[in-house]
């Protein structure tokens, strides 16, 4: 049964990713919001829903190591694995806002996460700070995007497919909602199947969280970014991944900590957190050097993920 859930989850995620990108592009055109911002907000929040549900359930059930490990592993996977594989499919030209606004925000979230977790517990007030910053950032992001892109989008030449979606806002909303729902259930089935398989091989909670669960909950980002890359909606790919990392920390950890304080293992501070910071820092020169994030950089990112997972697996007794 666990293998059936794994396969069913993957198929559902592929279909959900296609629907989500189609709906998001239509919504962006209709409401004069750039696809980058749609990727940073609606899509990244939607594809991070599995992390939120897994972390809340884990914290409430008394498994904080899964809650923390899920976010840590997902943030590493989003950049090193998902972005790496995405640019192998289609090299990405990075938007200027991703370099000067989105990346600094992701770095701020990462450093706050490390600082709050350093004493081995993330308190409710610390979670509230994280969540509050996210609300303000999202509001400013959408407001500024509407101001800057309204005129540009009005003058933009549209292809037939985008024009049809724009004319039918309700259809875009249906695609968006259907895509989010399929991603949620697909991730849920994939994670359940993957965790059952991992437990059958004797892995402990932390290892399961930063590997199997983190990969499973990052599959929506992988599918959505890959679909967006195929459709040449590269702003959605980059925005989705950076936005998901911000959301994972500020919303997932923030909300979970407000519901129940999160205890952190020392090994997470000594090892996993430094990987999260290192991958986030490494992304900046990859965006700044050259005109695009190409296949060579994708190989570097993917290789770093292979090294991380290999070290985790090697540490299993």
Q: Quick one: tokens of 316?
A: 């299993």
Q: Is 130 helix (H, G, I), strand (E, B) or coil?
A: helix
Question: Residue 11 falls within a domain, yes or no?
Answer: no
Give the mean pLDDT of 148-165. Answer: 51
Three-class secondary structure of residue 122 per DSSP? strand
What pLDDT, in 10s, does the model give residues 296-313? 999 999 999 999 999 988
- Can you give the CATH number for the domain in which 123 is found? 1.20.1420.30
Q: Taking 70 as the threshold, does the pLDDT of residue 14 lie above it?
A: no
Cα separation of 83 and 310, whole Å? 19
Reported confidence tier of residue 169, pLDDT bands at 50, 70, 90? confident
Whether the pLDDT of residue 259 is over 70: the answer is yes
**pLDDT exceeds 70 at position 243:** yes
Q: Is the pTM of this model over 0.95?
A: no
- Please state the φ and ψ torsions of residue 264, each to the nearest 5 degrees: -120, 135
Q: How many CB atoms lie within 10 A of CB 122?
A: 26
Give the model confidence (pLDDT) of 21-59 as tens digits: 677 767 766 776 666 677 667 667 766 766 776 677 667
- Domain annotation covers residue 304: yes
Please tell me the distance from the alpha carbon of residue 49 to that of residue 54, in angstroms, as a whole number. 9
Complete DSSP assignment for 266-302: HHIIIIIHHHHHHHHHHHHHHHHSSSSB-HHHHHHHH
The three-point CA angle 163-168-173 to 5° equals 115
In the beta sheet, which residues pair with residue 122? Answer: 262
pLDDT digits (tens, 9 = 90+) for 115-152: 999 999 999 999 999 999 999 998 887 777 666 655 55
Instruction: Identify whether 146 is part of a domain.
Output: yes
CA–CA dist 69, 75 (Å, integer):
10
How many domains does the chain fold into? 1
Confirm whether 12 is domain-assigned. Answer: no
Would residue 101 count as lying in a domain?
Answer: yes
305 falls within a domain: yes
Does residue 241 sit within a domain? yes
Whether 283 is in a domain gets the answer yes
Q: What percent of the chain has pLDDT over 90?
A: 28
Q: What is the DSSP letter of 95?
A: P
Q: Domain limits at 208?
A: 34-152+191-314
pLDDT band at 76, cuts 50/70/90? Answer: very high
């Amino acid at each position: 049964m666990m293998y059936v859930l794994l396969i069913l989850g993957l198929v559902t995620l592929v279909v959900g990713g296609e629907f989500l990108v189609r709906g998001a592009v239509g919504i962006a055109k209709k409401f004069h919001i750039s696809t980058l911002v749609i990727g940073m907000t609606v899509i990244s929040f939607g594809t991070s829903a599995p992390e939120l549900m897994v972390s809340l359930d884990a914290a409430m059930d008394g498994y904080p190591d899964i809650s923390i490990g899920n976010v840590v592993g997902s943030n590493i996977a989003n950049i090193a694995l998902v972005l790496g594989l995405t640019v192998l499919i289609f090299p990405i030209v990075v938007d200027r806002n991703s370099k000067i606004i989105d990346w600094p925000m992701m770095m701020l979230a990462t450093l706050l996460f490390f600082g709050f977790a350093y004493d081995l517990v993330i308190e409710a007030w610390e979670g509230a700070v994280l969540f509050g910053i996210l609300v303000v950032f999202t509001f400013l992001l959408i407001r500024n995007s509407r101001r800057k892109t309204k005129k540009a989008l009005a003058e933009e030449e549209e292809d037939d497919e985008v024009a049809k979606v724009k004319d039918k806002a309700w259809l875009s909303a249906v695609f968006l909602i259907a895509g989010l729902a399929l991603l949620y259930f697909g991730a849920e089935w994939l994670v359940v199947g993957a965790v059952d398989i991992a437990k059958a091989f004797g892995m402990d909670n932390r290892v399961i969280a930063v590997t199997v669960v983190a990969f499973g909950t990052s599959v929506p980002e992988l599918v959505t970014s890959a679909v967006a890359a195929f459709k040449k909606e590269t702003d959605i790919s980059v925005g989705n991944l950076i936005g998901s990392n911000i959301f994972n920390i500020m919303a997932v950890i923030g909300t979970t900590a407000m519901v129940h304080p999160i205890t952190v293992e020392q090994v997470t501070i000594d090892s996993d957190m430094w990987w999260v910071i290192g991958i986030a820092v490494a992304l900046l020169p990859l965006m700044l050097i050259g005109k695009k994030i190409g296949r060579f950089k994708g190989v570097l990112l993917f290789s770093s993920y292979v090294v991380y997972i290999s070290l985790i697996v090697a540490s299993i007794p």
